[in-house]
Amino acid sequence: MVSFTYYVPTKVFFGTDAESHIGSFLKSKGFHKVLLHYGSGSIKKNGLYDKVTAELQQAGIAYVELPGVEPNPKIGLVRCGVELCRKEGVDFLLGVGGGSVSDSCKAIALGLALDIDPWEAVVKNICPEKPFPMGLVLTIAAAGSEMSNSCVITDDEHNLKRGCNHDGNRPLVAFMNPENTLTVPKYQTAAGTVDIMMHTMERYLTADPETPLTDRLAEALLKTVKDCGSRLAEDPKDLQARTDLMWASSLAHNDITGCGRNRTFTAHKIEHDLSGVHDNITHGAGLAVVFPAWVLHEYKKGMKRFCQWAVNIWQANPNQDEDAVIREGVDHMKDYFRSLGMPVTMQELGVAPEEYDSIAELTIAGAGGAIPSYGSKLTKEEIIEIYRLAE
Amino acid sequence: MVSFTYYVPTKVFFGTDAESHIGSFLKSKGFHKVLLHYGSGSIKKNGLYDKVTAELQQAGIAYVELPGVEPNPKIGLVRCGVELCRKEGVDFLLGVGGGSVSDSCKAIALGLALDIDPWEAVVKNICPEKPFPMGLVLTIAAAGSEMSNSCVITDDEHNLKRGCNHDGNRPLVAFMNPENTLTVPKYQTAAGTVDIMMHTMERYLTADPETPLTDRLAEALLKTVKDCGSRLAEDPKDLQARTDLMWASSLAHNDITGCGRNRTFTAHKIEHDLSGVHDNITHGAGLAVVFPAWVLHEYKKGMKRFCQWAVNIWQANPNQDEDAVIREGVDHMKDYFRSLGMPVTMQELGVAPEEYDSIAELTIAGAGGAIPSYGSKLTKEEIIEIYRLAE
């Protein structure tokens, strides 16, 4: 096992009473003024906005609001947030939403803690010595941003989507009530399911020495997520499945499923520029297209590891040659994604071959050259090969 | 799933280079003077003492020493530690050892943070608002104290062993190098293996609603620990097994295997007074005796849950009546403990029937009455029935 550092300080309140801890927690930490950051306002329709603001009022905590976070959250709104917080003397950022809201909060926090333009903080991966405190009331199981060290932001003027990973991005607190995810639409639920699986599988498929405990924990999580995804495709109101999926979304990206493994997150990097250019592409849907193609492109570099993945996670028949085992695993995975209503080809995603060169160029430019992958790096031409394997 | 709070802020440096982070970490946090707390001095023989003190010296951090921690750590030494730290102006406690050293550190930290007698702090389960910072250089995979919220201390004058559980007991940092566990003797390795399994199984066997994700994570961990225990019984120098066992010891007791389940830790409570009275009983060995008997006493209260445990963890044949499934699970578990060289009867443990009444009385007195167990409480007479089931 390679050496690793594990540090996940986020305090999680999980359960159907999660929001009831908001006021007392923030008060106990001495916060006085909160930025309430959220999306399009669906939380006003389902009552969550009222619950959260009532909690703040009861605790005597003032708040200002910044709605309008979009999917693939934009640097423009982040900059507005930094300015608003400075003007209003905000001392805590409370996001109410999913990964986009969380990442937007994280980028505002970076701007406030570092006193530089937040885009620069993201692109240069600068970790503040003293993070600006933030937390999240989670409304969708997907990104796992509520416990992760990741923050991904889009510069829509320049069609760039960039992320940074460091412990300065770990939220102080997360309030997770699975009932708040009962109304997530089918497509978003499925895309979230894929995203959760991918956070685990991208940690699993790396060229590192053996990690039996980490592998088994990852397999346990993936088996559960797979079950939950299928159950929710049948019945979106299945609270048990919503509950497990929500907790899995956090564990999939808080690093517990990757201890002792170096992550490259290659499919994520490739996908980021697809959804950076095509704002209508949901991250999880983009991953459902890219990841199977990435496996097909890379598996010959580590047949034993990819076989383990195909057999233990996708129940491929191990009694055939390794090449066939892995290809069967990929087929099962694509069948599963299809069963959830996810796209598995570039055509379904709406990306045309004429765009391949320019999008791959963005990925290479963002990384400053070839991007790390399974045991070796991928050039622009190889990224395009992966697109083609997804046709 | 029942609501839960998850909070594990301990920063872990894991790997064969773990100690190399001691100096830089403590310096980055601004600590100036450390209490170096350890046991009988085996760390002076194996070179770890030299490594740790060199790290402190290179970082310019002063230290004072308090050796002498014994198994079942004693309140007397804890009180000495509190006094020494006050006198010397210590601002960080660094334990070098296993669960006993860690718990002794935790109790000193309680005394310093709360400014009351540490025994009172433990018995009354008082959580300080601002914990006194402590950390551990771990030398044995067993107690999981390095990430847990538990602290167990013995008052040897009155034959009492008492514990407290709250987030004020979570260490700030843990340095875990599996190579430091390569010399742990066979019996201690086996007792540690049992302790790790028990931290997971006591969370698993509770009368709570279903938790499929938590269950699968627990099963994944137990399968790994079982493998590691067997491998180390064969070859104590198996570094892969030492590595997985060490990380498993932390995960088994940091709460990740119990999310959504209320723990009662009944077998732990019963065992504490056996080893409180008989100082020569190793905690894990005591558990190997008590836990199978506890299962036999309790399983009729939750046949479905105990069946799941017997089948998923101990590979009992599910195609028989539930009673037989569970009894087969218990038999497999006892066979496994025996294969590690652990005792499974009160006789092997050296506890005589004449002592039953007085020891059970201690347990009841410590809890202030009947003790919580699977869905209902156990009286003194029932605790004695459990002893008899272990004969």
* A108, pLDDT greater than 90: yes
What pairing do the DSSP bridges indicate for beta strands A4-14 and B377-378?
unpaired
Residue among A16, A11, A12, A13 at smallest CA distance from A182: A16
Q: What's the mean pLDDT when you consider all of chain B?
A: 96
For residue A12, is it left (φ>0), alpha (ψ between -120 and 50) or beta?
beta
Per CATH, which fold does A186-389 belong to? Dehydroquinate synthase-like, alpha domain (1.20.1090)
Kindly identify which residue of chain B lies nearest to residue A241, measuring between CA atoms.
B212
Q: Return the residue of B nearest to A246 by Cα.
A: B213
* Interchain CB distance below 8 Å, A12 and B7: yes
Residues linked to residue A64 through DSSP beta bridges, in sequence order: A35
Considering only alpha carbons, which residue of chain B is nearest residue A251?
Answer: B256
Measured distance CA(A131)–CA(B272) in Å, rounded: 42
Q: How far apart are CA A8 and CA B370, in angstroms?
A: 37
B213/A224 Cβ within 8 A: yes
CATH class of segment(s) B11-181 = alpha beta
Distance from CA of B389 to the nearest CA of A (A): 34
Contact B121, B168 (CB under 8 A): no
Contact B147, B174 (CB under 8 A): yes
Which residue of chain A is at minimal alpha-carbon distance from B13? A5
Give yes or no for B223 touching A (CB within 8 A): yes
What pLDDT was estimated at residue B158? 87
Q: What span, in angstroms and rounded, lies between the C-alpha atoms of A22 and A18?
A: 8
Query: Could you tell me the two tokens for A30?
Result: 């001495």
Residues 190-219 of B with CB under 8 A from A: 210-214, 216-217, 219
Give me the residue spans of the domains in chain A.
11-180, 186-389
Nearest CA in chain B to A220: B216
- As a whole number of angstroms, the distance between CA B67 and CA B57 comes to 19
Collect all residues of chain A within an 8 Å Cβ-Cβ radius of residue B210.
Answer: 240
CA nearest to B246, candidates B184, B335, B330, B158: B184
DSSP SS3 for A255: coil
Phi-psi sector, B262: left (phi>0), alpha (psi -120 to 50), beta: beta
Q: Give the separation between CA A359 and CA B279, rounded to whole angstroms.
A: 68
> If you average pLDDT over residues A236-253, what whole number do you get?
98
3-state secondary structure of A391: coil
Distance between A15 CA and the closest CA of chain B, angstroms: 4
Q: Could you tell me if B244 lies within 8 Å of chain A, comparing CB atoms?
A: yes
Q: Which of A158-167, A274-283, B108-117 has the highest mean pLDDT?
A: B108-117
The position carrying tokens 């008082």 is B126
- What is the model's pLDDT at position A391? 97
- Looking at residue B159, its pLDDT comes to 80
Q: What is the largest CA-CA distance in chain A?
A: 66
Asked if B11-181 and B186-389 have one fold, the answer is no
B262 at interface of A, judged by CB pairs closer than 8 A: no
pLDDT the model gives residue A359: 97
The CA-based angle B365-B366-B370, given to 5 degrees, is: 65
pLDDT 10s digits, B56-71: 999 999 999 999 999 8
pLDDT of residue B160: 84
Chain A nearest-CA distance from B257, in A, is 10
Q: Which of residues 352-371 of B touch A (CB under 8 A)?
A: none
Task: Decide if B6 and A11 are in contact by the 8 Å CB cutoff.
Answer: yes
Confidence class for position A159, pLDDT limits 50, 70, 90? confident
Alpha-carbon gap: B346 to the closest alpha carbon of chain A (Å): 33
Q: What is the pLDDT of residue A293?
A: 98
The verdict on a CB contact (< 8 Å) between A5 and B17 is no
CA distance A175 to chain B (A): 10
Residues 6+ apart with CB under 8 A from A35: A63, A64, A65, A66, A81, A84, A85, A88, A90, A92, A93, A94, A108
Q: Which of these CATH numbers, 3.30.365.10, 3.40.50.10490, 3.30.70.260, 3.40.50.1970, describes A11-180?
A: 3.40.50.1970
Segment A95-100 shows an average pLDDT of 96
Distance, CA of A271 to CA of A194 (rounded, Å)? 13
Tell me the shortest Cα–Cα distance from A264 to chain B, in angstroms: 20
Taking the Cβ of residue A28 and every Cβ of chain B, the question of whether any pair is shorter than 8 Å is answered with: no
Q: What is the pLDDT of residues A261-299, one digit of tens each?
A: 999 999 999 999 999 899 899 999 999 999 999 999 999
Q: How far is residue A299's CA from residue A266's CA, in Å, rounded to a whole number?
A: 13
Q: How far apart are CA A78 and CA A99, in angstroms?
A: 14
